[in-house]
Structure 1
Amino acid sequence: MKIQTEIESIINQEFDVQYISLENESYMHNVPKDSESHFKLILVCDIFNGKRPVQRHQLVYRTLSEIMPKIHALALHLYTTKEWDERNSSAPSSPKCHGGE
């Protein structure tokens, strides 16, 4: 199973997902073609209500603990439904890689 599919499957099983976007951003880095090493996860879920950003990150990392050793980077953008609506359903763009070609 592809890593991206594994991540999506675990998240959808463990969270009451309102919105999810998982983008493989490996192409933006100096890695072999078709790599699955760098991901950006946008997750909207009301389980994040009342949780600080670090608590949200810890929750997701704990949930993905078995798959984390397989990847190099996971950018997390985690919102409640209210926060997502206030952001007009958008998350920040990822910065360009400084280490690649």
Structure 2
Amino acid sequence: MRNQRLNDKLSKELSPIFLHIEDESGNHSVPAGSESHFKVVVVSPVFEGLAKIARHQKIYAVLADELKSGLHALSIRAYTAAEWDKEKKHGGYDSPECLGGSKKG
């Protein structure tokens, strides 16, 4: 399904040291099984020397077809290996709460 396609595309293009993909669609006002909202954590040597926006642009470029076919939202964390070593000590991150539809707070 979409989770596997995201994994395959990101793995092929970014050669990640670590890759975590989580379907967060259930936290949003979408039909069950919609696979529309995902969180990705990518640790890749490709990100060395790139600003955060350039890293995100790379990920969006890799997933362009998915964004055209139902992927609605992507929460991204993109790290170099050194940044990831520091981030792991803080326990990662949570995606922001959904403020749309019936889940509006």
TM-score (norm 1): 0.92
- Give the equivalent residue in structure 1 for 2:15: 16
CA distance in 1, matches of 2:49, 2:21: 24
Q: Which residue identity lines up with residue 92 of structure 1 in the other structure?
A: Y
The yes-or-no answer on 1:38 pairing with 2:51 is no
1:59 aligns with 58
Contact 1:42 1:91 in 2 (8 A): no
Q: For the residues of structure 1 that align with 2:93 and 2:18, how far apart are their CA atoms?
A: 16
What's the counterpart of residue 94 of structure 1?
95
| 4+ long deviations beyond 6 Å | none
Q: Supply the AA of the counterpart residue of 2:57.
A: Q
Return the TM-score normalized by structure 2: 0.88
Root-mean-square deviation over aligned CA pairs: 1.2
Structure 1 unpaired stretches of 5+: none
Q: Report the CA distance between 1:52 and its aligned residue.
A: 0.2
What are structure 2's unaligned runs of at least 5 residues? none
Q: Is the 8 A contact 1:77 1:91 kept in 2?
A: no
Whichever residue aligns with residue 83 of structure 1, its letter is E
Q: Residue 83 of structure 1: CA displacement? A: 0.1
Could you tell me the percent identity over the aligned residues? 33
The answer as to whether partners of 1:16 and 1:45 remain within 8 angstroms in 2 is: yes
Q: Which residue of 1 aligns with 2:72?
A: 72
Structure with the higher helix share, 1 or 2 = 2
How far the C-alpha of 1:91 sits from its partner, in A, is 2.7
Count of paired positions: 100
Superposition deviation, residue 25 in structure 1: 0.2
Deviation at 1:95, TM superposition (A): 1.8
